[in-house]
Amino acid sequence: MNPVIIGNATLYLGDCLEILPTLKGVDAVVSDPPYGIGYVHEGGGQSKKWQRKNLKPIHGDDQPFDPSPWLGFKNVLLWGADHFRKQLPDGGTLLAWDKSVGVGGKDNFIDAEFAWCNRRCPRNVFRFLWKGLLMDHPSTEGRTGAYAVTRHHPSMKPITLMRWCIEHFKLPPGSLILDPYLGSGSTGIAAVTMGHRFIGIEIDEDYFAIACARIEKAQRQGRMDFEEAA
């Protein structure tokens, strides 16, 4: 299948397991896969708008996640590791994202999420507020304000978090980052704005379109900033 190429990003609409055999030269896999929790957001009864926007299920989230296709890569970081820890090899590091930071909303969402990295990592806790109506940080989408962040995907991760993930591998500029479960494209934005190449794969057509638009916007903004500085 033909990819969509946007600057340093190569994006595929399709099944990542079918596309995997065609991929070459990947330096790191960084992803937030569906991990079998049957995600349906009810919003705690507090936001009907949130419910309407996010009732669409995540493809594959009704089945247990098998990480084995991705464990052969040299550098691997997968979110949701507490849901499939028994299927991961010994060693590596569990990373924690503290998304409440002690001030998040008192709701029915968890206060932290966990990833597994196949490297030993001295820094394994990332504190970044992303809870309830307090999902706000200037570096997430380049905006500020009480309701600055738009949720594009039910399990959307902040761009700053995904940059932190990529930094664990200490890769040189121009390295190739793969996210086989692209979602709304946060990993891709992090990768290309850090000067890396990126491959993203998403099976859902709607989320794929969102990811393409966000990654294109990020690269266009980067070019504009470079031209203005020059």
Q: How confident is the model at residue 198 (pLDDT cuts 50, 70, 90)?
A: very high
Q: How confident is the model at residue 106 (pLDDT cuts 50, 70, 90)?
A: low
Q: Which CATH superfamily is domain 4-229 in?
A: Vaccinia Virus protein VP39 (3.40.50.150)
189-202 average pLDDT score:
97
- With vertex at residue 67, the alpha carbon angle to CA 65 and CA 73, rounded to the nearest 5 degrees, is 155
Domain map of the chain by residue range? 4-229
In the prediction, which pLDDT does 77 show?
A: 98
Partners of residue 9 on adjacent β-strands: 6, 198
Predicted structure pTM score: 0.82
Which H or E run contains 48?
helix 48-54
